[in-house]
């Protein structure tokens, strides 16, 4: 059966097809075959082996408009990072950033290396949202990734990048996404800004004014956000102790001192 398609011919054809597919890919070029010292003639390659490819030195997968694209994940388009100056004597490890939605590429939580190459990226659920305070913390004795999202959600992902918890402030409040701390007791500590009606005449303001109070909540992560503790600045800090003045919004240290407006 000389005309039969043998296993060897099949593997040879498969290798050639794969070779053509890879070398046609943007940014790839075939590696040159080398001869052993003293050998003659054209080097032979195993018919079942796919030829290796390497990135072209001047090729890039970053479009000119500053957004990264990935053939394996066309749904992802994080902003491209350009390393203009290589830093020296810096700590080893990756860089954590939270690009904002509305600029170049998607907003979300992103990790990249010292060369600006994306290591991991997770886009926001809401195209109008923003991620903040993206960092590594410890939960149940294991490292986790945490960040806050607008409006008022707090996310925990494990070492395999799987989301294991998503929390919100309790008692009807909207949490502030700037602060999210996991305590040694494996509870979540968050802050809240809350505007409430307030008589500001004792501090030179309007009788029908409003005051911004700072709220701290401790949430039970295991029970999907049950409030374990709540502290309100207006219950403990007088308006006359505020750095803010009537008619101005003034954010104070630790976000716990009352701020007043007419």
Query: Tokens representing 109?
Result: 């939580």
Range of the domain at 257: 58-261
Q: Are residues 231 and 215 in the same domain?
A: yes
Closest CA to 109 of 99, 95, 94: 99
pLDDT for res 134:
95
Query: Tokens representing 199?
Result: 């008589």
Helix, strand, or coil here: 211?
strand
pLDDT for res 4:
55
Q: Are residues 49 and 178 in the same domain?
A: no
Q: For residue 9, how many other CB atoms are within 10 A of its CB?
A: 11
Q: Are residues 87 and 194 in the same domain?
A: yes
Residue 29 lies in a domain: yes
Alpha-carbon distance values, 236 to 154, 174, 176, 214, 246 (Å): 27, 21, 20, 11, 19
Each residue's pLDDT, cut to its tens digit, for the chain (262 residues) gives 455 545 555 445 444 444 433 333 333 333 343 334 443 333 344 444 444 444 445 544 445 468 888 888 888 989 888 888 877 888 888 999 998 876 678 889 999 998 889 999 999 887 677 899 999 999 999 999 999 988 789 999 999 999 999 999 999 999 998 899 999 999 999 999 998 888 888 888 888 888 889 999 999 999 878 999 999 999 998 888 877 777 654 433 333 334 444 3
Rg over CA atoms, the chain = 29
Closest CA to 125 of 144, 104, 145, 152: 152
Phi first, then psi, for residue 154 (nearest 5°) are -130, 130
User: What are the start-end ranges of the H helices in the chain?
Assistant: 7-23
pLDDT for res 248:
58
């Amino acid at each position: 059966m000389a005309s039969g398609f043998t296993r060897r011919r099949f593997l040879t054809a498969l290798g050639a097809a794969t070779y053509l597919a890879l070398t046609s890919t943007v940014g790839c070029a075939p590696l040159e075959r080398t001869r052993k010292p003293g050998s003659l003639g054209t080097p032979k390659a195993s018919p079942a082996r796919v030829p290796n490819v390497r990135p072209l030195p001047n090729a890039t997968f970053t479009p000119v408009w500053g957004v990264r694209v990935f053939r394996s994940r066309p749904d992802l388009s994080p902003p491209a990072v350009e390393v203009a100056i290589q830093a020296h004597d810096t700590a080893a490890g990756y860089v954590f950033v939270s690009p904002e939605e509305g600029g170049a590429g998607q907003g979300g939580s992103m990790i990249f290396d010292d060369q600006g190459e994306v290591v991991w990226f997770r886009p926001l659920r809401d195209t109008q949202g923003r991620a903040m305070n993206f960092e590594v913390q410890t939960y149940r004795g294991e490292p986790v990734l945490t960040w806050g999202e607008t409006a008022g959600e707090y996310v925990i992902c494990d070492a395999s990048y799987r989301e294991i918890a998503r929390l919100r402030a309790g008692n009807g409040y909207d949490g502030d996404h700037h602060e999210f701390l996991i305590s040694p007791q494996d509870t979540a500590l968050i802050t809240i800004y809350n505007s409430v009606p307030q008589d500001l005449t004792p501090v030179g303001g309007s009788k029908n004014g409003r005051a911004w109070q700072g709220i701290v909540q401790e949430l039970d992560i295991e029970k999907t956000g049950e409030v374990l503790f709540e502290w309100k600045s207006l219950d403990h800090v007088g308006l006359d102790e505020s750095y803010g003045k009537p008619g101005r919004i003034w954010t104070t240290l630790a976000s716990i001192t009352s701020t007043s407006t007419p």
